[in-house]
């Protein structure tokens, strides 16, 4: 059975591009059925079109409430029968009902070493706190923001000379490795969410084995 993805974006879509490229290199045995954006001007939509992937612009202003927007989004995913929904810079908080419906089949990437630095503006906050390490995390989405069980993480050292933009670029580089890797593992059935825990080959993942070392 084919493993079909939906990728949800709001902006640049560099993570989407990394996934497109990993599929093209046959590193992931999956296909992107649809790329959905809540912004018409998202650069990621162009990236998808260039790769001949169907795109859909879901216009938030068309819906009376957050719930209606979420229901419409759910309908689109259902229609495309996707196996996994990948949030890649999608700047909207999904409703609890949406999350419950897609639990275990909905993942996100966050630019920090979760559970530290949930929310926005992580790079500057890491610098301001004088951290020596920063990173990115792929996690299953649960109702609480940036809080779901972690699938993979990787880190980089924070240099004294790093500014927020430089850190952002470095974090993007590791995101572009761990996000396709996590999708590959899920598509192979190696990783799954059960009873609020991430299992790898049937065994609960620990902090050690969810750390992805990048050389």
**Which residues are known catalytic residues?**
110
- Closest distance of CB 100 from ligand GRF, Å: 21
Site residues (CB under 6 A) for ligand GRF, limited to 8-47: 9, 11-15
Candidate list 110, 134, 139, 170; residue touching ligand GRF; CB under 6 A: 110
Of 89, 148, 149, 180, which one interacts with ligand GRF (CB under 6 A)?
A: 89
- Answer for which of 38, 162, 175, 184 binds ligand GRF (CB under 6 A) is 175
CB 107 within 8 A of CB 140: yes
Q: Distance (Å, rounded) from C-alpha 89 to C-alpha 72?
A: 19
Stretch in the footprint of ligand GRF (CB under 6 A) among 24-32, 55-63, 108-116, 181-189: 108-116
**How near is the Cβ of 171 to ligand GRF at its closest, in Å?**
6
User: Nearer to ligand GRF by C-beta: 12 or 116?
Assistant: 12
Q: Do 142 and 148 contact (CB within 8 A), yes or no?
A: yes
Min dist CB 201 to ligand GRF, Å, is 26
Work out which of 77, 102, 111, 183 binds ligand GRF, going by CB under 6 A.
111
**Span of 24-32, 55-63, 109-117, 204-212 interacting with ligand GRF by CB under 6 A:** 109-117
| Rounded Cα gap, residues 3 and 188, in angstroms | 9
Residue 1 CB neighbours (<10 A): 4
Residue 47 in tokens: 């990236």
Chain positions contacting ligand GRF, by CB under 6 A: 9, 11-15, 88-89, 109-111, 136, 175
């Amino acid at each position: 059975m084919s493993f079909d993805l939906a990728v949800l974006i709001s902006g640049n879509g560099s993570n989407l591009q990394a996934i497109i490229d990993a599929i093209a290199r046959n590193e992931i045995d999956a296909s992107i059925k649809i790329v959905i954006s809540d912004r018409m001007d998202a650069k990621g939509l162009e990236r998808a079109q260039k790769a001949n992937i169907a795109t859909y612009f879901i216009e938030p202003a068309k819906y009376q409430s957050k719930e209606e927007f979420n229901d419409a989004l759910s309908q689109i995913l259902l229609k495309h029968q996707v196996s996994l929904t990948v949030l890649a810079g999608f700047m909207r908080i999904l409703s609890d009902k949406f999350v419950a419906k897609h639990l275990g089949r909905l993942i996100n990437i966050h630019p920090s070493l979760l559970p530290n630095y949930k929310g926005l503006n992580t790079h500057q906050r890491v610098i301001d706190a004088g951290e020596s390490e920063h990173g990115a995390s792929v996690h299953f989405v649960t109702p609480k923001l940036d809080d779901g069980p972690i699938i993979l993480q990787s880190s980089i050292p924070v240099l004294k000379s790093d500014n927020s933009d430089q850190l952002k670029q470095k974090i993007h580089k590791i995101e572009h490795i761990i996000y396709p890797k996590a999708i590959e593992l899920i598509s192979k059935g190696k990783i799954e969410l059960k009873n609020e825990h991430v299992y790898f080959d049937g065994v609960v993942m620990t902090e050690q084995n969810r750390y992805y070392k990048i050389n």
